[in-house]
Amino acid sequence: MSAYRELHRRFDRHYLLRSSADLLEWDAQAVMPEGGGDLRAAQLGTLRLLAHEAISAPDMPELLAAAEAAPPADAWERANVAAMRRAWVHAAAVPADLVEARARVTSSCELAWRTARREDDFASLLPQLEEVVNLTRRVGEAKASVMGLSVYDALADEYEPGAREEALAPLFARLARELPPLVDAIVERQARAAPAPPLVGPFSIERQAALGRHVAERMGFDFTRGRLDVSVHPFCGGAAEDVRMTTRYDEDDFLSSVLGVVHETGHALYEMGLPRAWARQPVGHVPGMGLHESQSLLMEMQAARTPELLGYLAGAAATHLGVTLPRESLERHALRVARSLVRVDADEATYPLHVVVRFTLERALVAGDLSVKDLPGAFRDAMERVVGVRPPTDREGCLQDVHWPTGAFGYFPSYTIGAIAAAQLFAAAVAAHPEIPAELAEGDFTSLRGFAHEHVHQHGSRYDTNGVLERATGCGLDADVLIAHLRRRYLG
Amino acid sequence: MSAYRELHRRFDRHYLLRSSADLLEWDAQAVMPEGGGDLRAAQLGTLRLLAHEAISAPDMPELLAAAEAAPPADAWERANVAAMRRAWVHAAAVPADLVEARARVTSSCELAWRTARREDDFASLLPQLEEVVNLTRRVGEAKASVMGLSVYDALADEYEPGAREEALAPLFARLARELPPLVDAIVERQARAAPAPPLVGPFSIERQAALGRHVAERMGFDFTRGRLDVSVHPFCGGAAEDVRMTTRYDEDDFLSSVLGVVHETGHALYEMGLPRAWARQPVGHVPGMGLHESQSLLMEMQAARTPELLGYLAGAAATHLGVTLPRESLERHALRVARSLVRVDADEATYPLHVVVRFTLERALVAGDLSVKDLPGAFRDAMERVVGVRPPTDREGCLQDVHWPTGAFGYFPSYTIGAIAAAQLFAAAVAAHPEIPAELAEGDFTSLRGFAHEHVHQHGSRYDTNGVLERATGCGLDADVLIAHLRRRYLG
């Protein structure tokens, strides 16, 4: 067997184990009874460890070198070899016991977080979160020493290949500088307009679920290859042929629920559109989480907040919820900008400021400059300083996000990379297909989804995020486009 | 590390992998979208293979011999060593590639069966079912040569340790001889009574689900350690701390749904009552599937069909479904005996005859005396000969059961072993706790569940099935008790 075939076989097994673990994580978040937590943590520890072992045997360097020395003729296979090396570097850098411990501890910390968040009880989470931070730091140190990166960069590279503090820090500094005056101007302008009439709830959860399902179907979500369920923290997981997205419903606010479904469906369409032939190989997956987030934001922030799609949603709400709301009313709610407490509910103008808070604090946590016990206060201070509001509780403060309890340090920048990429991609899509707004007014996503599929989905990770953006939009990641979009939409 | 500790560690990993696969199977039956089938089959193949490898390394015979030569002081640990050997014999007898192929093929055949059953299309299932039968036969041959048993016995031993054709064949011959005249007498007697008034449907699925949930809770099902969902073929899976039971609802017949929930809850209580300290070790699991079935039938057939519990169910139906039905009406339906087509809906007097049909045909299939393509006709003929009715379709014929498509040859006898054991256990429970009927009239399962826990659940597989029955009832498996029960209940 050639070195490449042998690697292919190992990565196939790696994927089968990893996707099994992903399914067990979906189950834990969407349907598992609380008593299953200890067992689930142990199962995940074992599966993550075996997935790790599948691609970190001692002969992997030789196999990779041999595959690289005699590169396959096929361009996809060559790209796959590069993606294999990347995956191997991240896997092999971390000792097996640490992989297993990290999976076990983060799984049980995630459950503890659910309770702590519900009960606004940071103290109950502290011991487990400390353990997660310590283990994550050890993982980062192990990777950093192999990859020749800072600990934070080594962690972030797992989610965003090539992302480096030295580029992210100035990007976020710029956003922290330029967005607040922009937000002030928008808030002032919106304050002059008449207040939006309230959305008249309660809206039955069942009807909202039917509306969400309808919208997901219109967007192209294939329910024979996926599900939509409920979880505390909405996410999109599973595998390309079995995508599991979740949402949450609020009886008083159907709009945020339906926009949440639009967001997760954007992720889901990416997963469903990845190259089927490569589904179990590294090149068949996304090149980075920023590009993944760009697909959810392309739908949720760019498309769904156009007057055209909001008009369509007003009609769909009338049909499914029996409420008559003028498009303008939905627009007021959907485009309202405010310095608010919860990141996932934030508008697109203040959202990057929430990310600045996380980016700043997670670097300090990983570096040991901020101890976990001091996180609640540091979070409140940073929110006040950067976003301009002070969380009155930890529930609305440092307990709001699932990322740190699950060890996902270095993930947050991907949200802003995604927001920028989404602005670039939407502009390019509309330039290439001027019929997009008219289609959206009919709830028709054909051209937009087609553009995303052609330029993003179908490539897997044959190109990196910048490569995808350059091919699709003519330039790499460019924050100017996001800022120009915000000015045009909110102040233009 | 002592040999015993090392074995303990390996069986722990084996359990974590096996229970992960079980969860993935539950998911496939209860919630997975149809597109996920190929991936799921591959995942299960990998997990079952790794579970197998965890306990079949070449040094296992030495480790087992060492643990047996220096037996642990603790009685549970000693019983665990015996259970380990049993599990190892079954695992090590089968080559790894066969384990993986069997898991993969049965998983995809299960999905094909769902479609074939729905569409009454045996031809579409034939190629895959042939493959399953061939692989199962090879598994049986591999085990038979190691265990010194017939192929069928080697397969059946996996579900029912110690079960042998030479004992089962006369048992089923006796039932095939004695039950038909008994059934005739019951049918004749019931024909003389006025027909039962029909149950007035439709009953909303949602309300039936609430009723089912209520009854499961009254029985002691702990919803913080388990779930109740819907699947085509009801079953009880998962793990002791996370039991996943399923049912199906029929809008026209709430009674069969609620009795189905009672049945699965019987299984679930057994799982939930197994010794927690041994949850991940062989001794912590059931000694055989017959005893597992005895726990569902103890509840469904023995307890739930008493006038007392039917009275309670009539009240619960009034509360949850808003229908007023006298207890006598439920009793007529619940105790109606008829030669019917579908095993899972069969009454307790004809049920063993359905098992006779399966027992006869599956031995012929495994032996190669019956080819898979001839199964539909052979099934019809056997049903007509043994049960007395001829299925007009394969859907109501050989496609009705999930067992063969999933490779579970040798399982069916466990249903009858369970029915006999249930009759013995209920008689012993009422003798020890004469208050049981009065409690059941209140929907109170305290004493019955307590008896089952004390005499069955808490022992795991410290004793074998006969050992449990002897301790609990004073004698081993005894078909006389089942026949006497049937005479008393239906002709007494």
- DSSP line for A21-75: HHHHHHHHHHT--GGGHHHHHHHHHHHHHHHHHHT--TTHHHHHHHHHHS--SSH
**What contacts B210, CB < 8 A, 6 or more positions away?**
B320
* Element containing residue B314 per DSSP (H, E): helix B307-321
**What's the confidence (pLDDT) of residue B195?**
79
Q: How far is CA A83 from the centre of its chain?
A: 20
Yes or no, beta carbons of B225 and A43 under 8 Å apart: no
Q: How far apart are CA A477 and CA A492, in angstroms?
A: 23
Strands A242-247 and A236-239: antiparallel
- Nearest residue on chain B to A13, alpha-carbon basis: B46
Question: Are the C-beta atoms of A263 and A297 separated by less than 8 Å?
Answer: yes
Catalytic residue among A264, A271, A331, A348: A264
Phi/psi at A243 (nearest 5 deg)?
-85, 130
**What's the confidence (pLDDT) of residue B51?**
96
Q: How far is CA A203 from the centre of its chain?
A: 27
Residue B396 has pLDDT above 80, yes or no: yes
The span from the first CA to the last CA of chain A, in angstroms, equals: 62
A264 is catalytic: yes
Yes or no, beta carbons of B242 and A16 under 8 Å apart: no
| Average pLDDT of span B293-298 | 98
Calculate how close chain B gets to A44, using CA atoms only, in Å. 9
**What's the confidence (pLDDT) of residue A195?**
80
- All residues of chain B having their beta carbon less than 8 Å from the beta carbon of residue A23 are 24, 27, 43
Yes or no, beta carbons of A19 and B43 under 8 Å apart: yes
Yes or no, beta carbons of A19 and B39 under 8 Å apart: yes
Q: How far apart are CA B248 and CA B229, in angstroms?
A: 8
- Nearest residue on chain B to A279, alpha-carbon basis: B39
Ranges of H-type helices in B335-368: 351-367
Yes or no, beta carbons of A33 and B227 under 8 Å apart: yes
- Nearest residue on chain B to A36, alpha-carbon basis: B242
Ranges of H-type helices in A119-195: 122-147, 151-159, 165-192
Q: How far apart are CA B237 and CA B207, in angstroms?
A: 24
Yes or no, beta carbons of A227 and B31 under 8 Å apart: yes
The residues on B that touch A, with CB distances below 8 Å, are 13, 16-17, 19-20, 23-24, 27, 31-36, 38-40, 42-43, 45-47, 50, 222-227, 238-239, 241-242, 279-280
Of A27, A46, A239, the CB nearest to B27: A27
Q: How far apart are CA B61 and CA B88, in angstroms?
A: 9
| Average pLDDT of span B370-378 | 98
Interface mutation vs chain A, best among B19, B20, B245, B274, most A CBs within 10 Å: B20
pLDDT digits 0-9 by tens, B175-206:
999 999 999 999 999 999 887 788 878 899 99
Of A19, A33, A241, the CB nearest to B224: A33
Q: Produce one character per residue of B275-294: b if its CB has 16 or more CB atoms within 10 Å, e if not.
A: beebbbbbbbbbbbbbbbbb
pLDDT digits 0-9 by tens, B117-171:
999 999 999 999 999 999 999 999 999 999 999 999 999 999 999 999 999 999 9
Phi/psi at B461 (nearest 5 deg)?
-115, 40
**What's the confidence (pLDDT) of residue B266?**
98
Q: How far apart are CA A161 and CA A289, in angstroms?
A: 9
**What's the confidence (pLDDT) of residue A222?**
96
Angle, in degrees to the nearest 10, between helices B413-432 and B165-192? 70
Q: Per-residue confidence of chain A (492 residues) as pLDDT tens digits?
A: 799 999 999 999 999 999 999 999 999 989 999 999 999 999 999 999 999 999 999 999 999 999 999 998 999 999 999 999 999 999 999 998 998 899 889 988 998 999 999 999 999 999 999 999 999 999 999 999 999 999 999 999 999 999 999 999 999 999 999 999 999 999 999 999 888 788 878 999 999 999 999 999 999 999 999 999 998 778 899 899 999 999 989 998 899 899 999 999 999 999 999 999 999 999 999 999 999 999 999 999 999 999 999 999 999 999 999 888 888 889 999 999 999 999 988 999 999 999 999 999 999 999 999 999 999 999 999 999 999 999 999 999 999 999 999 999 999 999 999 999 999 999 999 999 999 999 999 999 999 999 999 999 999 999 999 999 999 999 999 999 999 999 999 998
| Average pLDDT of span B51-59 | 96
Could you tell me how many residues make up chain B?
492
**What's the confidence (pLDDT) of residue B201?**
81
Of A19, A35, A223, the CB nearest to B242: A35
Question: Are the C-beta atoms of B261 and A56 separated by less than 8 Å?
Answer: no
Whole-structure pTM value: 0.92
- All residues of chain B having their beta carbon less than 8 Å from the beta carbon of residue A24 are 20, 23-24
The residues on A that touch B, with CB distances below 8 Å, are 13, 16-17, 19-20, 23-24, 27, 31-36, 38-40, 42-43, 45-47, 50, 222-227, 239, 241-242, 279-280
- Nearest residue on chain B to A20, alpha-carbon basis: B43
- All residues of chain A having their beta carbon less than 8 Å from the beta carbon of residue B23 are 24, 27, 43
Helix (H, G, I), strand (E, B) or coil at A232: coil
Yes or no, beta carbons of B43 and A50 under 8 Å apart: no
**What's the confidence (pLDDT) of residue A231?**
86
Chains A, B: CB pairs < 8 Å: 92
Tokens of B131: 């493959």
**What's the confidence (pLDDT) of residue A198?**
82
**What's the confidence (pLDDT) of residue A84?**
98
Q: What are chain B's domains?
A: 3-159 (1.20.58)
**What's the confidence (pLDDT) of residue B406?**
94
Nearest to A140 by CA among A409, A413, A411: A409
Helix (H, G, I), strand (E, B) or coil at A228: strand
Angle, in degrees to the nearest 10, between helices A3-30 and A37-54? 170
Q: How far apart are CA A458 and CA A285, in angstroms?
A: 10
Question: Are the C-beta atoms of A456 and A428 separated by less than 8 Å?
Answer: no
Yes or no, beta carbons of B242 and A50 under 8 Å apart: no
Calculate how close chain A gets to B272, using CA atoms only, in Å. 11
| The residue type at B266 | G
Catalytic residue among B110, B264, B362, B439: B264
Indicate the DSSP class of residue A346: -
